[in-house]
Amino acid sequence: MKDQLIPKATAKRLPLYYRYLKTLYASGKRKVSSTELSDALKVDSATIRRDFSYFGELGKRGYGYDVENLMNFFAKTLNEDVLTHVALIGVGHLGHALLRYRFQRSESIRISAAFDVKEDLVGRILEGVPVYSAEEMVQQIKEQQIDVAILTVPEHVAQQNADLLVKAGIRGIMNFTPVRLDLPGYVKVQNVDLTNEMQTLIYFLNNYPAETDGTETEDNGTAVTE
């Protein structure tokens, strides 16, 4: 890999590439071109080539990309060979859904502990995951050496819980609350606001002409699909 920080837009597409390469490899396909990837993933082929170029020479001109080599490269890049333990904070309706989901597309991500304030949930095993009292959150996260958390609590306690996660040593938070958290710069936060995404989709439907190729466009005019 080249010694540089790749753009966030590229980083967001890496799991997309990896999952599709796994599908190709399982089907017996051994080489693929950027055009074939573009047709399948609805990402402009120039964008794909640019994304790959950040990591050096991954393919050969006139040949394309070796599916197995590229799949293994992105697996290593995405730390698929290392199991990441995740804490779930808040076991409401969305929390339950995430426990059932179990990050099925990745064998390297596992929700290992869940936390809630409801007494009828504490002490239970849900979908194979133990549910602890919120009062035990800092201690358990430290003891289990968990680095990543999912936050699905009510918005009025979102910041409070996020502060406790920082105290526990969490370095990354997937935030499903509408609150924009105020945290130290070293803590990475991925905001997932489902209402915002739906409102954006409806706005696009009402204000933009239908795309002919299923792709979107970045600010610089490059076609992409997130």
128 is in an annotated binding site: no
64 is in an annotated binding site: no
Which 3-state string (H, E, C) describes the chain? Answer: CCCCCCCHHHHHHHHHHHHHHHHHHHCCCCEECHHHHHHHHCCCHHHHHHHHHCCCCCCECCCEEEHHHHHHHHHHHCCCCCCEEEEEECCCHHHHHHHHHCCCCCCCEEEEEEEECCCCCCCCEECCEEEEEHHHHHHHHHHHCCCEEEECCCHHHHHHHHHHHHHHCCCEEEECCCCCCCCCCCCEEEECCHHHHHHHHHHHHHHCCCCCCCCEECCCCCEECC
90 is in an annotated binding site: yes
92 is in an annotated binding site: yes
Encoded amino acid at 77, one letter: T
Taken in order 52, 57, 61, 67, the sign of the CA dihedral is negative
156 is in an annotated binding site: no
Q: How do beta strands 109-116 and 84-89 pair?
A: parallel
In the numeric block, which tokens belong to residue 156?
């009025």
Strand partners, 66: 31
Which positions make up the binding site for NAD(+)? 90-95
Which positions make up the binding site? 90-95
